[in-house]
Chains A and B, each alone.
Chain A
Amino acid sequence: MRFERIGREPDYSRYMDLKEGWLDRRIFSDADIYEEELYRIFARSWLFVAHESQIPNSGDFLTTHMGEDAVIVARQPDGSIRVMLNSCPHRGNKVCFADAGNTRRFVCNYHGWAFDTAGDLKGMHEEYCYDAGDIDFKNHGLKNVAKVGNYKGLVFATFNSDAPSLEAWLGDFRWYLDMILDNEEGGTEFIGGCIKSVISANWKFGVENFIGDAYHAGWTHDSGTRSMNNGQPVPPIDMDNSYHASVNGHGWEFGTEGVGDLFLLGRPKVMDYYNKIRPKMAERLGEMRSKIFGSVASASIFPNVSFLPGISTFRQWQPKGPMQFELKTWVIVNKNMPDDIKEEVTKGVMQTFGPGGTFEMDDGENWENCTTVNRGVVTRHERLHYRCGIGRQIEHDTLPGIVYRGQYNDANQRGFYQRWLDMMTHDEFGKMPARPEPQLGNVGETRDLPGLFAL
Chain B
Amino acid sequence: MLDRPLAPPPVEVIVAVTQALHREARLLDNEDLDGWLAMLGKDVSYRLELKSRRFRADRSPPFPLGPGVIFNEDLGRLKMRVDRLKSGFVWAEDPPNYIRRAVSNVEVLATRADNEVRVHSVLGMHRNRIDGTTRLLTAGRTDLWRSEGSAWLLAAREIVLDHSVLPDSNLNAFF
Min CB gap A294→B, angstroms: 22
The reply to whether A368 and B165 contact each other, CB–CB distance below 8 Å, is no
Give Cα A223–Cα B88 distance, bound, in whole angstroms. Answer: 7
The reply to whether B70 and A355 contact each other, CB–CB distance below 8 Å, is yes
A102 within 8 A of B: yes
* In the complex, chain A residues whose CB is within 8 Å of the CB of B164: 99, 196
* In the complex, chain B residues whose CB is within 8 Å of the CB of A379: none
A interface residues (Cβ-Cβ under 8 A, vs B): 57, 60, 97-103, 191-201, 220, 222-224, 226-228, 326-327, 331, 339, 342-343, 346-347, 350-351, 354-356, 358, 360-369, 372
28 A-B pairs within 8 Å (CB atoms) are namely A99-B53, A99-B54, A102-B58, A192-B50, A192-B65, A192-B67, A192-B69, A193-B67, A197-B167, A197-B169, A200-B169, A220-B91, A223-B85, A223-B87, A223-B89, A227-B80, A343-B65, A346-B68, A347-B69, A355-B169, A356-B170, A358-B81, A361-B170, A362-B90, A362-B91, A362-B92, A363-B170, A365-B169
Interface centre among A346, A350, A363, A365 (most CB of B within 10 A): A365
Known: A227-B84, A326-B165, A356-B48. A192 touches B68 (CB 8 A): yes
* In the complex, chain B residues whose CB is within 8 Å of the CB of A367: 169
* In the complex, chain A residues whose CB is within 8 Å of the CB of B66: 192
Min CB gap A101→B, angstroms: 4
Give Cα A327–Cα B169 distance, bound, in whole angstroms. Answer: 9
* In the complex, chain B residues whose CB is within 8 Å of the CB of A355: 70, 166, 169-171
Known: A228-B80, A356-B70, A358-B80. A222 touches B165 (CB 8 A): no
B105 within 8 A of A: no
Q: How large is the interface on B (under 10, 10 to 19, 20 to 34, 35 or more residues)?
A: 35 or more
With beta carbons under 8 angstroms apart, the residue of A195, A198, A228, A354 that contacts B168 is: A198
With beta carbons under 8 angstroms apart, the residue of B68, B81, B129 that contacts A350 is: B68
The reply to whether A199 and B169 contact each other, CB–CB distance below 8 Å, is yes
The reply to whether B167 and A191 contact each other, CB–CB distance below 8 Å, is no
The reply to whether A365 and B129 contact each other, CB–CB distance below 8 Å, is yes
The reply to whether A368 and B169 contact each other, CB–CB distance below 8 Å, is yes
Query: Which residues of chain B from 152 to 175 have a CB within 8 Å of any chain A CB?
Result: 164-172
Min CB gap A361→B, angstroms: 4
B71 within 8 A of A: yes
Return the CB mask of B34-77 against A: 1 if under 8 Å, else 0.
Answer: 00000000000000101111110011100111111111100001
Give Cα A228–Cα B83 distance, bound, in whole angstroms. Answer: 10
